[in-house]
Amino acid sequence: MITVFGSLNADLVCQVEQLPGPGETVTGPGYTVVPGGKGANQALAAARAGAAVRMVGSVGRDAFAEAALQSLRKGGVDLTAIAESNGRTACAFIGVDPAGENLIIVASGANLETRAEQLRQAGLAAGDMLLLQMEVPPAENWQAVAFAKQAGARVVLNLAPAGAVPPEVLRQVDFLIVNETEAAQLAAQLGLDERDPQQVGARLAADFVEHCIVTLGSAGVASHGAAGAHRLPALRVEVVDTTAAGDAFVGGFAAALEAGRAMEDCLAQGVVAGGLACRHLGAQSSLPAQHEIVAELVNYRA
């Protein structure tokens, strides 16, 4: 079982001709309201990739709550540990340009009231996997990591968006997943000399975490750690929107890991899931189903 401890959002997505710069206003023809949040995205991505998943987080008592939960419910994710907050359900405001690049502003709302204590209700147990991101209060994340290690669960931390992590917490993380920007910021926080993302990943795996996976965008993914070093290329697709690519990678990777597959196979499933998610607009609406991932893996590994 994968337990995701993290954020739930309602995403307001607008297509624009170009992303705004500082002080600039741009307009688009309209917007859509879709479920999102890195926690919810990764929970649904893992469920669609074939894993049993439960979501631990918070929503408000407002109209956006159902928007945030509807895809998870349809996807079979266990929602019994979702708390109702007096605050508003979190919202993300996303602009997407014709090349698929995006600009995102998140109003955290109820996500700030998510507490590690909710994991007790979720029934996290030995042999489970705890999957975390950085859109709930960091102190609650670190308590969740400690609780997971006490329970005998594996910990997967996606350091997104980038933020500081205490070294003693990092040493409890089994799998750290970062992109190039997050790797650089973490290296600076820890006072590491390395700046190249792959070198940072190798150093983190040597000194802090059991495994470090660095996603490299169109250059693919690299990993270092107890399972050795691996480098895989990206999946070639026509990019429409990159909003959910990282979350799809994490969910696909986690699902394969939970199924007991070898590291290279886990990375390949993550890469394929992330690539397929770029073909459609939006976050959860773009996450691929298991049969799509399996079919594309055949071509990818050929």
Active-site positions read 247
DSSP secondary structure string for all residues of the chain: -EEEE---EEEEEEE-SS---TT-----S--EEEEE-HHHHHHHHHHHTT--EEEEEEEESSHHHHHHHHHHHHTT-EEEEEEEESSPPEEEEEEE-TTS-EEEEEE-GGGGG--TTHHHHHT--TT-EEEE-SSS-HHHHHHHHHHHHHHT-EEEEE--S-----HHHHTT-SEEEEEHHHHHHHHHHHT-S--SHHHHHHHHHHHT-SEEEEE-GGG-EEEEETT--EEEPPPP---S--TTHHHHHHHHHHHHHHTT--HHHHHHHHHHHHHHHTTSSSSGGGPPPHHHHHHHHHHHT-
Q: Phi first, then psi: what are they for 41, rounded to 5°? A: -60, -45
Angle at 13 between CA 89 and CA 140, to 5 degrees: 35
Q: Residue 132: which of 114, 105, 150, 120 has the closest Cα?
A: 114
Count other C-beta atoms under 10 Å from residue 12's C-beta.
18
